[in-house]
Amino acid sequence: MGISGSRKCCSCTAAGTEPDDLGDDLPRSVFDDPLIVQQAIMDSKHARQAKSLATKVETMASEQVASAWALLEKEFNVQKQIWDSMQFRKGKSHEGEVASLSSKIEFAFMSHLKDRGNAIASLEATLERTAKSDLLSDTMMKAAANVMKAEEQLEPRRTLSEALRARDAVSPAELDALVKALDGLDDPKLEAAVREAIPVWNVL
């Protein structure tokens, strides 16, 4: 004897709801919401832009340091020629002072890739020692100062690069501190792009 009527699964309601009807009560996928999709696309775009800016900041920082050291080396070679031309007029005392200075500067060149701290300390000691003398030319002293400035800005620029990659929200004051790492690059467009890329808390 056959069984009359249609079968209902155990999940059907008392009113006889078919299984296919259950989907109406489930939440829609976020991918069905155009606003959420649009926001996700914008977030992805901003993340790519921030990553690109981070790479640019890192590259510019490294290039500025390398350029500063290269210029210092060039000026040092000129300075040695000046010292050589002066040694006959100033005697043994001058020769000893020059040898000491030359040793400190050469140490800075040899150590700056492995021990930036000691390299900068050596340059600082050299500038302090010659501040009131004519042992170093003005261009040599300026080149040494530029090296120290570029080296000092290297770490803040790395911090800025990390902030761009993370894109964590910061306070307005924190953003100003991060952007200060760009001082000396003279690139207003880069600064504006960085400010736009890092989220800022809403301050009431």
**pLDDT for res 176:** 94
Mean pLDDT of the chain: 80
**pLDDT digit string, tens, across residues 81-130:** 988 887 766 666 778 888 889 999 999 999 998 898 999 999 998 888 88
3 state SS for the chain = CCCCCCCCCCCCCCCCCCHHHHHHHCCCCHHHCHHHHHHHHHHHHHHHHHHHHHHHHHHHHHHHHHHHHHHHHHHHHHHHHHHHHHHHHHHHHHHHHHHHHHHHHHHHHHHCCCCHHHHHHHHHHHHHHHCCCCCCCHHHHHHHHHHHHHHHHHHHHHHHHHHHHHCCCECHHHHHHHHHHHCCCCCHHHHHHHHHHCCECCCC
Mean pLDDT of 2-23: 45
**pLDDT digit string, tens, across residues 156-179:** 999 999 999 998 899 999 999 999
Taking the model in full, what pTM does it have?
0.71
Residue 23 has pLDDT above 90, yes or no: no
**pLDDT for res 158:** 93
**pLDDT digit string, tens, across residues 24-67:** 444 455 456 555 545 444 556 678 888 999 999 999 999 999 99
**pLDDT for res 71:** 97
**pLDDT for res 31:** 52
Comparing 4-13, 42-51, 126-135, the range with the smallest average pLDDT is 4-13
Residue 2 has pLDDT above 80, yes or no: no
**pLDDT for res 44:** 62
